[in-house]
């Protein structure tokens, strides 16, 4: 019930190749099946709402990331610019910086979103070389290593359909 969504804003073939490699990495490590790969410009709102999403690329590369960035949960301190991002009040502008976020899918909060965004294509490649079963809610990467990581405070999120 998941989709891998790659960007078509820049370096289309590199992004597709990366998504296909990530598809294989996930299948080898976790699912044993190939998660479908779709282009950001070809995925419908119904598909976005009906699946768990693995979205690859910053807003400059991936229009779905751009849509997600404008719909982040209140209190979540992430923002994206061209070749930089900010997380928790700090700006990350090195080409080898990247951000990994696990959030409720903003198109359907009963589904999950895994966002992998980086300041360069090379960093996105580094972040998706391997899969770890120890998934934090967020991680700031430098190269292929999570330099900072943690979990979201539960009060940041409101999940529809769940009672207290």
Is 126:138 a contact under the CB 8 Å cutoff? Answer: no
Other C-beta atoms closer than 10 Å to the C-beta of 134 total 6
Nearest-angstrom CA–CA distance, 149 and 152 = 10
Q: 103-159: per-residue pLDDT in tens? A: 999 999 999 999 999 999 899 999 988 667 677 899 999 998 999 999 887 655 554
β-strands 145-150, 84-87 pairing:
unpaired
Other C-beta atoms closer than 10 Å to the C-beta of 23 total 19
Q: 140-152: per-residue pLDDT in tens? A: 999 989 999 998 8
Please count the residues of the chain. Answer: 164
- What's the alpha-carbon Rg for the chain, to the nearest Å? 15
List the one residue out of 28, 159, 40 whose CA is nearest residue 106.
159
**How does residue 164 score in pLDDT terms, banded at 50, 70 and 90?**
very low
Cα distances from 135 to residues 55, 101, 103, in angstroms, run 16, 10, 12
Cα distances from 151 to residues 9, 40, 136, 138, 139, in angstroms, run 30, 27, 6, 6, 9
Q: 12-55: per-residue pLDDT in tens? A: 888 899 999 989 988 888 777 899 999 999 999 999 999 999 99
């Amino acid at each position: 019930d998941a989709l891998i969504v790659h960007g078509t804003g820049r370096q289309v073939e590199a992004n597709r190749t990366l998504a296909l490699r990530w598809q294989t990495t996930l299948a080898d490590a976790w699912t044993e099946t190939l998660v479908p790969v779709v282009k950001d410009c070809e995925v419908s709102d119904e598909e976005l709402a009906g699946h768990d999403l693995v979205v690859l690329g910053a807003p400059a590369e991936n229009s779905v990331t751009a849509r997600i960035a404008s719909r982040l949960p209140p209190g979540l301190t992430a923002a994206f610019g061209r070749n930089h991002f900010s997380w928790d009040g700090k700006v990350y502008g090195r080409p080898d910086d990247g951000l990994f976020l696990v959030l409720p899918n903003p198109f359907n909060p009963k589904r999950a979103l895994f966002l992998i965004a980086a300041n360069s294509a090379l960093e996105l490649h580094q972040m998706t070389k391997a899969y770890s079963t120890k998934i934090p809610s967020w991680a700031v990467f430098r190269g292929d290593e999570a330099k900072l990581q943690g979990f979201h405070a539960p009060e940041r999120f409101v999940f529809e359909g769940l009672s207290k």
